Structure 1
């Protein structure tokens, strides 16, 4: 047990000591501009300079035909002032580097056809060796000699990693903008639909998707499905990754159509409809402009699916489709109460899952992230993670709360104080995530910081406005909606009193003459309080009176003042 513990501790030390570096290669005969390649080295063998100008350019010698495990594998003239490339295998890293150093080498690059591993040793071996040793991928070695020829010079160096990359600014703008726009759009659309319930438009382009309320049962099912999917991805990643890519293409095309449709409907042309037909979808006779929009959205999704691994520009399409997908989900999914949001603490997909396993045969990545390439040149960007990532869950989970806050703002007429406060809290939580990333230098679960910031801020605003009970249960949505600029005009016909709290009850005929000198349509201002009767509510001007005899227990045509509207 003690030996296992020592071995485990030594393994952890090696893992921590391992660092990424660069080898800058140029041609001895001139030609193309030099290029950096990724190397994995252990600073316990020898440190590399942080600046390329302080590194020595030495001849890079291809000795990969040899494993360099014995003195017989050494060249006759040795490796004087050279950096040999040798194949990995058959002996330890220490044996290879000891032979190389003894023959005059100034460094050693071990070419690996497999994934790069830390070139480790023990403390005695580290003290004995004074030249750097690093691993280089076989693919990079082939690219070096194909690009620069056989006579090349190289310098090993390890520039410092920047605290934060500039691409974090782009990710911040995209994330906060998506949450703000999605929350505002979802809240306004939901409340507007409440006012427009009585209107019907059977046109296919006017019909919008109904919002889906998030329930505790739905939350539990979602968590179980996510956990099951993660387990399946762990065991069958190379197969299921293509299923996820296909689902993303379909969902993102739908989201892009939903986002662009309101803009296309404002265009003054393309309103003609296709002819009558019996096709499954086209029998609804959609407008030509909407049909062209659908084809455009599908084309964009297909182009991304075909060229998704083009690191130069495919990330732009992925981010555009991802933002459209998030906006569509924020518009479709709705939180009915704040306590449902409080129960959705959530968990972020870690970097290892989002980027895919390193030993995947397909090298495919899950597309459910926003990705922006690193703008700073660094070994981490070159070797391990050339992109900074933010998962869709880090946008959707807080975005649902932002949409809830905007709906509540409109209901209680609070000048969008909840919406603005929750959006600012999301931005602050994202900044805290970036700070934690800079301090820990590893991927962070963003929801660990975003969820507390948005929940605590929303509760604090509700407590300050003394609306915590209504905000918690969402009971404000069940009340009579206040007037709205988009509210439809009242329908013609009799309507009940708006603010009357007096129940309608029949009164004995003895309390009122059989006939009333005032018609029901006459304004109540011309009647005295004695004629109206005690406790009779005043009818608001402009609201028609109830028909005679309505809601009366007695089948009498007499109008009762106490029961009039």
Structure 2
């Protein structure tokens, strides 16, 4: 950092980012121990020859010169022999640590650092031509407190989304025989993921990431538009169950031939749709307001993730394993392998997620949860001011958590799979944070989340001796309650054959047993009849379905 102050006494200073190489010279960690020296603006020259040195030299000054035309060593050598106590090299390009060889490091004993051209203009604008500056390197905290907020949001989204997805799916299956109301049909729709869909999805992810790396400035606006649309749908899906509980606004709009409105939506649902779209538009307009737009982005992102977890359904643990393993390889490759394939040495995943440094738009991808740094270290200005977690690190393990919850309900296991998988997700996320602190570089979260969730789910199924059912997803289609065996009232006017047909229509299981063993089936029927005096068997009755409050046909 460089703390800049005006030449006047009592003026308020401001910190600016610099990038320096500690092998040239060390900087103090405490600002109070740093020397406050005059910053001399020499940006009219590049300081590559003696003619660029002003008359009188740089006695007890820190000159600011432009980058280019010669090596860093030539600049800092000229500055040092002319009395400078430091050197700031102003760069219009991407900042890189100034380097040299070992012998050059031994010759130089003044600090040299790179300062961005925009910061140099800001210094001149705010402090005038005569300014003072102090160079220092504050200690960076290992972890920021904002990871606690990210942890709560991520684990909470996975837990709520997985619980909601499982409950809605089982409820939908148990209510399939009932008439679907038009207003709720969209909420109950789900998409079963197949093997072909998994392959297509992974290919699309790879293609989009590569295209974003090469054409970021053009495609980033497409992603922003898609996010606004998807976030509006997700927010509507999350708020609609609560809005339907309100007693007001149940009347429908009059008959019309307009698109969508010909379905005559309720006024309250129409107002909810307008509200959700408005929220997304507000974020799209003010998305670069770092003080508060991040909170709105996180809210929209959580709603989008909940909607996706409720909509996407994997029917077997085999499909879950395939999806998670393939995306595990995808994440590791684009974070750890691609730095060896790029000219800058940066991974495609990290650079696209954080936004390329040379981007002319300076836009950021919205498909992440982001929380500003909460530490008081001034290095928050230099490093990324936000910590981020991609939506994929929530959705990919989340579909497994949802599958575990659906399986829990089917086998009546007191949600042991759901709880175990959710806890495993939290542990994997903590491992990601620890690796981030130790390596000080972006981490592929799926590297830790996928093994934790998969192995935990597998271990629980193996321990409960349900691995076969868990792997094949057994029970989702055939474990629904079957009709009870009932005794039909005997009708003397109905022939025996017709009476038997009626019994078979109501109890198809009995029909199968009679084909296999007529005697045993008759004994079972007789036994059931004899027990009727002791136990009352409920007889399914055809009841008129109660009117749904959402089916109000009244016009406004």
Sort the TM-score into its range (normalised by shorter chain).
0.7 to 0.9
2:195 to 213, 216, 219: 216
Counterpart position of 2:126: 147
> What is the alpha-carbon distance in structure 2 between the residues aligned to residue 32 and residue 354 of structure 1?
39
Query: Does the 8 A contact of 1:111 with 1:141 survive in 2?
Result: yes
5 Å-filtered alignment, 1:148-547, equals 148-205=127-184, 207-344=186-323, 345=325, 346=327, 347-348=330-331, 350-378=349-377, 381-481=380-480, 496-497=506-507, 503-505=513-515, 524-525=530-531, 541-543=537-539
TM-score, normalization by structure 2: 0.84
> What is the alpha-carbon distance in structure 2 between the residues aligned to residue 269 and residue 454 of structure 1?
44
Where does structure 1 lack aligned partners over 5 or more consecutive residues?
A: 1-21, 484-492, 513-518, 528-537, 546-565
Where does structure 2 lack aligned partners over 5 or more consecutive residues?
A: 335-348, 483-501, 542-556
The answer to whether the aligner puts 1:59 opposite 2:38 as a matched pair is: yes
Q: Tell me the CA shift for residue 502 of structure 1.
A: 6.5
- The alignment covers a number of residue pairs equal to 496
> What is the alpha-carbon distance in structure 1 between the residues aligned to residue 375 and residue 281 of structure 2?
31
Query: Does the 8 A contact of 1:205 with 1:290 survive in 2?
Result: no
5 Å-filtered alignment, 1:94-113, equals 94-113=73-92
Q: Secondary structure at the match of 2:138?
A: coil
Query: Does the 8 A contact of 1:411 with 1:482 survive in 2?
Result: no
Q: Secondary structure at the match of 2:251?
A: coil
5 Å-filtered alignment, 1:13-28, equals 22-28=1-7
Q: Tell me the CA shift for residue 353 of structure 1.
A: 2.0
Cα displacement string for residues 241-286 of structure 1 (whole angstroms, at most 9, x for unaligned residues): 1111111111111101111111111112122222221110111111
> What is the alpha-carbon distance in structure 1 between the residues aligned to residue 437 and residue 531 of structure 2?
72
Call closer, same or farther: CA 1:526–1:213 in 2, change over 3 Å. closer
Query: Does the 8 A contact of 1:497 with 1:539 survive in 2?
Result: no
Q: CA RMSD in A?
A: 2.6
Query: Does the 8 A contact of 1:201 with 1:207 survive in 2?
Result: no
**Greater Cα radius of gyration, structure 1 or 2:** 1
1:80 to 32, 51, 59: 59
Cα displacement string for residues 338-389 of structure 1 (whole angstroms, at most 9, x for unaligned residues): 0111112213363222112222222222111111111124465322311111
Q: Secondary structure at the match of 1:78?
A: coil
> What is the alpha-carbon distance in structure 1 between the residues aligned to residue 516 and residue 110 of structure 2?
104
1:131 to 110, 114, 133: 110
Q: Secondary structure at the match of 2:465?
A: coil
Structure 1, 206-215 or 425-434: larger mean CA deviation: 206-215
Call closer, same or farther: CA 1:506–1:304 in 2, change over 3 Å. closer
> What is the alpha-carbon distance in structure 1 between the residues aligned to residue 60 and residue 532 of structure 2?
112
Structure 1, 174-183 or 98-107: larger mean CA deviation: 98-107
Counterpart position of 1:35: 14
Call closer, same or farther: CA 1:275–1:163 in 2, change over 3 Å. same
> What is the alpha-carbon distance in structure 1 between the residues aligned to residue 452 and residue 287 of structure 2?
34
TM-score, normalization by structure 1: 0.83
Call closer, same or farther: CA 1:384–1:526 in 2, change over 3 Å. closer
> What is the alpha-carbon distance in structure 2 between the residues aligned to residue 186 and residue 161 of structure 1?
41
